Structure 1
């Protein structure tokens, strides 16, 4: 209950101010590299928190890959952050359905806690200055259009 109240307050805070500093994190990617969010300043970063057991997450993954490919040359990065303590199932899924964007593993849930992730999937969009601009919880077909609208707005700024 306490964490859900915090999540609501956090979302309201972000929507009222239109921006809040995005919590920094460093996570290991599928390819073995460590990626740090703070080092991505100057780019728009869409972060999708997901799990292999989450049907909507799996359904959304190819749509995120299309977004990543479409906007990469414009300075937009898409990161997938798997939130499972054991990443074996996620790695097995990624062997079958390969994506071009980096997939990171938050096995201790430090990043997902910093972003107060309570729904699967949760997608956050961070502007070029490292400010958290939007948070989307859950996924239904068509949500990728919302992400694209958010990206286009930030590209115009």
Structure 2
């Protein structure tokens, strides 16, 4: 009876095998092409958001500060809505952020990435390219940093 409990304990205690994130290559509005593969060695927060999403707007200043203050991390914003690049640029003049923003086609999101069922949706990618955690709803810098700790951040 003790042996199965020990085996179960060992299986539960083993670290989960991290799955690599899908590739991501998008044209941003002001920062050129963003290649997730070029970010190896850094933490990446992929943030799906929309201009009409109040929780998305609430988290933007904190994500911007997180991106500016951490040299080991970058944020990429994926505007997941039906709008034009011109309208999105006009919106960002009123609510600017320093991290790159790409407009994502809601009918053809980046291949291999989860289609958000709600916004905001953020995906934390470790420096080795593996997905660490998904955050549904607004996320704070503290929550991101807490998720980084068990993964070596």
What TM-score, normalized by structure 1, do the two folds share?
A: 0.77
Q: 1:83 aligns with which of 49, 55, 80?
A: 80
Distance in 2 (CA, whole Å) between partners of 1:89 and 1:18 is: 41
Deviation, 1:117, is 1.7
Q: Which residue of 2 aligns with 1:62?
A: 61
**Larger gyration radius, structure 1 or structure 2:** 2
Runs (5+) with no aligned partner, structure 2: 1-14
Deviation, 1:116, is 3.2
Structure 2 contact 22–111 (Cα < 8 Å) conserved? no
Distance in 2 (CA, whole Å) between partners of 1:104 and 1:154 is: 27
Larger helix fraction of residues: 1
Alignment root-mean-square deviation, CA: 2.2
1:127 to 1:102, Cα distance in 2 relative to 1, 3 A: same
Secondary structure at the counterpart of residue 20 of structure 1: coil
Runs (5+) with no aligned partner, structure 1: 1-15
Q: Which residue of 1 aligns with 2:4?
A: none
What TM-score, normalized by structure 2, do the two folds share?
A: 0.78
